[in-house]
Amino acid sequence: MTEFFQTLVSGLSLGSIYALIALGYTMVYGIAKMLNFAHGDIIMVGAYAVITTVMISEAIPGIVAVVISVIVCVVLGVTIEFFAYRPLRKAPSLTVLITAIGVSYLLQNLALLIFGSEQKSFKLDFFDMIKPIYIGKVYINGITFLTLVVTVIIMIALTLFINKTRLGKAMRAVSEDKEAAELMGINVNRTITLTFAIGSALAAVASIFYGGAYTYIRPTTGSMPGIKAFTAAVFGGIGSIPGAMLGGILLGVIEKFAENAISQWSNAIVFVVLVIVLVVKPTGLLGKKINEKV
Amino acid sequence: MRMLAVNNINVYYGKIHAIKDVSFEVKSGEIVALIGANGAGKSTILKTISGLLRSKTGSISFNNELITHTEAHKLIAKGMAHVPEGRRIFLQMTVMENLDMGAYIRKDNYKKDIESVFQRFPRLQERKNQIAGTLSGGEQQMLAMGRALMGKPSLLMLDEPSMGLAPILVDQIFGIIKELHESGTTILLVEQNAEKALAIADRAYVLESGKVAVSGTGKELAASDKIKKAYLGG
Ligand SMILES: Nc1ncnc2c1ncn2[C@@H]1O[C@H](COP(=O)(O)OP(=O)(O)OP(=O)(O)O)[C@@H](O)[C@H]1O
Ligand SMILES: [Mg+2]
C-alpha cells in the first residue's frame, strides 16, 4: 500500500509538470488555433535561464533566478508569436505547423551553440530548504511537495482568471469567435499575445520543477516533456483548460505506474492509453463538440 | 446629417471581385435597407464597414471621421455596432456573459443597460444564466441584438436579423427594430425579406452581383414593378 501511494505521489508530481506545459499548448490552440510545437523548447530555455543566472553569481537567490527565467520565457514566447506566427495568421495550418517545428529546431540549435551538447547540472538553493515530509510511510521530498503546491495554486488562479476576469472572458470570446470578439471591441492580436505570455510563463515554472526532478538539462531537454504534455492536452481535450489539467495529471500518474510495472514499456503504455481514449472519445476527455444553431 | 458615407469601395476575396464601385450613405436617424439576392454582397459590405474586410479603393467615413483603415475593434467605441449574419453570439458563454462582452469596452457601470435589454427582451432575463448555445434561434437573435445594444451604438448594422425565424418572431424582431429606431438609433438593415425591410426603411439600396442596381425610398422601391418581380415574389 505504501508503494502504491509512493508511486501515486511521484505520478501526481510528474503529472503536475505535464499539466503546466499542457496548459500552454491548449490555451494557444484554443485561441490561435495552432499547435505550437516550439512550446516544449521554451522549457529548455527556461531551465538554461535559471542555471545561467545562478552561474553568474552564487549570491543570487534561487527565487530571483526563477523570476528571470519567467521573464525570459515570456519575452521569448511573445517574440516568437510576433515574428513567426502572426504573419501566418491566415495561412494554411500545415504552414504554421512546419514553422513551429522550425522554431523548435532553431531554439534547440541555438542552445547547442551557446551551451554545448553536454548535460549541465540543475540545482536551486531553495530545493533543499523545504524539508522532506512523511505522510504515514509515504516520502515526499521538497521539490515534489513544491511542485504539487505551486501547481494547485496556479491552476486555481488560472481558472479564476479565465472565468471571472474581463481579460479572461475576452480570451474565451476570442477562442470562440475571433470576428465576433473583434466586433465587441476586443483587440484580438493583443489577446493572442497575452495567451502566449501566460503559456510561456507556465512553461518557465514547469522548467524549474522538471529540472529539479531530473537534476540535469541539455539542449533537447524540452522535447520529451513537450511531447508528453502535448499528448496530455490532446488526452484531456485540446482547447480545454480543465482538460489539460486533468490530462496532464492522469498522464503523469499512468506513466509512473506503468514504469513500476514494466519499466521499459512505460512510454508505450502512455500512448496506448491515449489511443484508446481518442478512439472512444475523439474530442478527448473533456473536449466539447459545439453544436451551432443557424 | 450624414452619419455613414461609403464611397466607391471595391472588395475582393482573393481573385473574386465581390463588391464593385459601391457608394451609399446613411443619414442620422434613418433606417436604410440593403437588399439583394444571395451572394449579392450585402454581408461583405457590412464587414467592410466594420473593418473586418478591407476595400482596395475609396473611403468610408463615420460621423465625418475617416474609418477606412481603422481596426475593427476600435469602431464600437465610436458608436458603431454590427450584428453579424448568423448571430455569432458566444455559444459557450452564458446569456449574461454575452451581454458583458457587448459592454467590453465600457468602463462605467452598465447595470442599467442590462436591465433595459432585459426589458426589451424578457426572454433573455428568464434565461440569463443559461449557456447561449442552448437558446432557440429566436432567442439567439435577441441576444445578438441585446449584446450589440450594450455598446450604446448610434449606428446599428443588422445582417439578416429575420433569418430562419418563424413568421411571428420575424414580426417581433421587426417591431423591435422600429422601436430602436424611434428611440434614436440609426439603422442599416441587410435583409432577404425585402417586403418587410422596404416597409420600415426610409431608403433602400438594391444590390445585384456586387453593384448597387437601384436605390430609392422604401415606398418607391416597394411600388416598383421591377423590384416586385425580382424580390417580392410578384
Ligand atoms: N470568405 C469568402 N471567400 C470567398 N468568397 C466569398 C467569401 N465570402 C463571400 N464570398 C463571395 O462574395 C460574394 C458576396 O457574398 P456575401 O456573403 O457578401 O453575399 P450576401 O449578399 O450577404 O449573401 P446572403 O444573402 O446569402 O448572405 C458571393 O459571391 C460569395 O460567394
Ligand atoms: Mg449575407
Per-residue pLDDT, averaged over A120-125, amounts to 89
pLDDT digits (tens, 9 = 90+) for B139-166: 999 999 999 999 999 999 999 999 989 9
In this prediction, residue A272 carries a pLDDT of 87
Architecture of domain B1-79+156-165+175-234: 3-Layer(aba) Sandwich (3.40)
A288 vs A98, more confident: A98
pLDDT digits (tens, 9 = 90+) for A213-242: 999 999 999 999 999 999 999 999 998 999
Single out the residue of A278, A60, A88, A100 nearest to residue A199, CA to CA.
A100
Looking at the complex, does the CB of residue B141 fall below 8 Å from at least one CB of chain A?
no
The alpha carbon of B85 and the centre of ligand 1 are apart by a number of angstroms equal to 11
In this prediction, residue B71 carries a pLDDT of 97
Distance CA(A96)–CA(A32), nearest Å, equals 11
In this prediction, residue A289 carries a pLDDT of 58
Q: Is B16 in the pocket of ligand 1 (CB under 6 A)?
A: yes
Q: Do A290 and B133 touch (CB under 8 A)?
A: yes
CA angle B160, B163, B165 (to 5 degrees): 140
B78 vs A123, more confident: B78
Q: CA of A269: how far to CAs of A210, A227, A262, A273, B69, in Å?
A: 21, 15, 9, 6, 54
Q: Name the pLDDT band for A266 (thresholds 50, 70, 90).
A: confident
pLDDT digits (tens, 9 = 90+) for B27-69: 999 999 999 999 999 999 999 999 999 999 999 999 999 999 9
Q: Is B13 in the pocket of ligand 1 (CB under 6 A)?
A: yes
pTM score of the predicted model: 0.91
The alpha carbon of A88 and the centre of ligand 1 are apart by a number of angstroms equal to 23
Q: What is the domain partition of chain B in residue ranges?
A: 1-79+156-165+175-234, 85-152
Instruction: Give a yes or no: residue A3 inside a domain.
Output: no
In this prediction, residue B234 carries a pLDDT of 54
pLDDT surpasses 90 at B228: no
In this prediction, residue B138 carries a pLDDT of 92
In this prediction, residue A270 carries a pLDDT of 81
Q: What is the DSSP letter of B152?
A: -
Instruction: Give a yes or no: residue A248 inside a domain.
Output: no
pLDDT digits (tens, 9 = 90+) for B92-150: 999 999 999 999 999 999 999 999 999 999 999 999 999 999 999 999 999 999 999 99
Distance CA(A96)–CA(A90), nearest Å, equals 9
pLDDT surpasses 90 at A267: no
Ligand 1 atom 1, closest CA? B13
Nearest to A183 among B77, B84, B97 (CB): B84
Q: What is the ipTM of this complex?
A: 0.94
Q: Which residues contact residue A143 at a Cβ distance below 8 angstroms, ignoring those fewer than 6 apart?
A: A127, A130, A209, A212, A213
pLDDT digits (tens, 9 = 90+) for B74-95: 999 999 999 999 999 999 999 9
Looking at the complex, does the CB of residue B101 fall below 8 Å from at least one CB of chain A?
yes
The strands making up B211-217's β-sheet, listed across from edge to edge, are: B80-83, B155-159, B186-191, B31-36, B203-208, B211-217
pLDDT surpasses 50 at A294: no
B229 vs A222, more confident: A222
When divided into structural domains, chain A yields a total of 1
Looking at the complex, does the CB of residue A289 fall below 8 Å from at least one CB of chain B?
no
Span between the terminal Cα atoms of chain A, in Å: 55
Looking at the complex, does the CB of residue B13 fall below 8 Å from at least one CB of chain A?
no
Average of per-residue pLDDT values in chain A: 91
Give the ligand at the shortest distance from the Cα of B38: 1
Nearest to A180 among B88, B105, B133 (CB): B88
DSSP string, B85-105: TT----TTSBHHHHHHHHTTT
Q: Is B18 in the pocket of ligand 1 (CB under 6 A)?
A: yes
Q: Name the pLDDT band for A287 (thresholds 50, 70, 90).
A: confident
Residues 157-216 of A with CB under 8 A from B: 166, 169-170, 172-173, 176-177, 179-188
Q: Which residues of A touch B151 (CB under 8 A)?
A: 184-185
Instruction: State the nearest Cα–Cα gap between B159 and chain A, in angstroms.
Output: 13
Instruction: Give a yes or no: residue A23 inside a domain.
Output: yes
In this prediction, residue B109 carries a pLDDT of 95
pLDDT surpasses 70 at A292: no
Q: Name the pLDDT band for A57 (thresholds 50, 70, 90).
A: confident
Per-residue pLDDT, averaged over A107-135, amounts to 91
Residues of chain A with pLDDT > 70: what percent?
98
Q: Do B100 and A188 touch (CB under 8 A)?
A: no
pLDDT surpasses 70 at A76: yes
